[in-house]
Amino acid sequence: MSELGHWPISVEIAVQWGEMDALNHVNNTVFLRWMETARMNYFIDCGFSELYESEGVGPILANINVDYIKPVGFPDTVTIYNTITLIGNASFEMGYRITSAAMDGATVAAGTASCVVFDYREGKSTPMPDTLRTSILEFEASGNA
C-alpha cells in the first residue's frame, strides 16, 4: 500500500449566493479558491508554515488542473478533500476531490496541483528537507483513505 494518497484533509465550505454566475451555478474559479483553502490547511497541518517561518522555505504553486464533473448550486455545502500523491526531490503533487452535500456526497470536481519547494530568501527551488518529507508521510498516514 502506498504511503501517500490518504486524504488527511477535509474542509467543509458553505456555498455562498455570490459564488453563482449568470448560468445559475457556482463559477469555475470558485473551485480553485476552495482547493486553495484545503491546500493551505494541509500546509499548516503538515508543518510547511513552520518551515517557512523558520527558514523561508515554503511551497509555490506551479500548475493546477480541475475536472468539473457536476455543477454546484446554492444552497449547498461542499467538502474539499486534499492529499499529496507524489513527492519528488524538490516538488510534490497534490490531489483534490470536491463533493456536494446536496447531491448526497457525489463528487462534483477533481483536481491536481504541482507544487515546488521554494526558498523565498534565495528566490529559487530547493530540495525538500527530510524533516518535512517525514512530516508529510506521517500526516498522510493519519488520513481517511
Domain boundaries, the chain: 9-141
- Quote the cell numbers at residue 58: 515554503
Closest C-alpha to 40, from 137, 115, 120, 111: 115
How confident is the model over 30-77, as pLDDT tens digits?
999 999 999 999 999 998 888 999 999 999 999 999 999 999 999 999
Higher pLDDT, 11 or 4: 11
- CATH number for the domain running over 9-141: 3.10.129.10
- E-strand spans in the chain? 9-14, 57-68, 77-87, 91-100, 106-119, 124-125
The cell for 44 is 499548516
pLDDT band at 144 (very low <50, low <70, confident <90, very high): low
Phi, psi angles (nearest 5°) of residue 73: -125, -175
